[in-house]
Amino acid sequence: MRLKPSLLLLFLLSFTSGSWGASEVSVIGPETLKAILSEVTVVDARDADFDKGHIPGSIPMSWSDWAVEKAGAKSIILGNSANWGKVLADSTVETRLQGLGFSQDRQIVVVGEPGQWGEEGRIAWNFLFWGAKKVSLLEGGYSSWKAKGLPLETGAAKKHKPGNFKVKFQLVRRARLNDVEENLKLRVRPVFDARTQEEFQGKTVMGQARGGRIPGSTFVPAKDLYQANGKYITATALKKMIASSKSGQPITYCTGGVRSALLALLIEARLGVVTASYDGSIWEWSSHEELPMVSIPR
């Protein structure tokens, strides 16, 4: 359904960043990052090739190392795949972040790679959930930095001095299972599915108990969040993709809260709308047999 201009305005104004606090989310280019490199902390969210080349001073972080349980075949047997996507939210987070060198007063810039799974969005979302005040994504990812001929480092990450990061969980940025379940009854919050077309229609992936989608959700594929040139989707294009008649705070989901986090970050960065990512996502939702899922019959 096409959203009327008045409803779209209501949707955009109802959940601006200013409504939820002082956190700032943005997308910055490689030249901007170069100019402020000494003043920020760079996080490399790529899963591979860090040793072969990275932005100087980068700290490598894998999103799955900061989940309640790490995804994998072993944890299907010994653990619970419903926990694979859930962000770590206990007393160990602050100590770990400080040990890696993160500080409360430094902007965090997260670097990914276009066309992957949106890991940079998940890491950036983690930091916002943990209470970071200023978080940015690098436009075009590592490739854009390298293409500009900007400085690179190789080898293992350099050790940073301990930081003073203070965790203060920002619950408004996270949708829990009960939030999504409640919305099935109220139908006031738009819900966006960031997976592939095949998954949206019913294809299952490892650890997923059932196929299908959450009823009432709208398909917003993560692959379309990147333009052909590697840059993130424009505000105009994204606005069309998420048009909705519902004015409640948006919820995004995917399989395990990675692609959904990138979508949530871009909705905020491009449109100024603080969006809640459901980090448990389909890994958790599908594990509850009593919860409905919709799929296209094969």
What is the signed CA dihedral for 228, 231, 233, 237, rounded to 10 degrees?
A: -60
CATH assignment of 5-17+172-285?
A: 3.40.250.10
Q: Is the pLDDT of residue 16 over 70?
A: no
Burial (CB count <10 Å: 0-12, 13-18, 19+), residue 275? buried
pLDDT at 21 over 80: no
In angstroms, rounded to a whole number, what is the distance separating the alpha carbons of residues 279 and 142? Answer: 25
State the average pLDDT for the chain: 92
Structure pTM?
0.92
Residues of each domain in the chain carrying CATH 3.40.250.10: 5-17+172-285, 20-170
CATH 3.40.250.10 given to domain 20-170: yes
Q: Among 45-59, 65-79, 125-139, 264-278, which stretch is predicted with the lowest mean pLDDT?
A: 65-79
Question: In angstroms, what CA-CA distances link 57 with 25, 150, 162, 246?
Answer: 21, 13, 14, 43
The DSSP line for 209-246 is SS-SB-TT-EE--GGGGB-TTSPBPPHHHHHHHT--S-
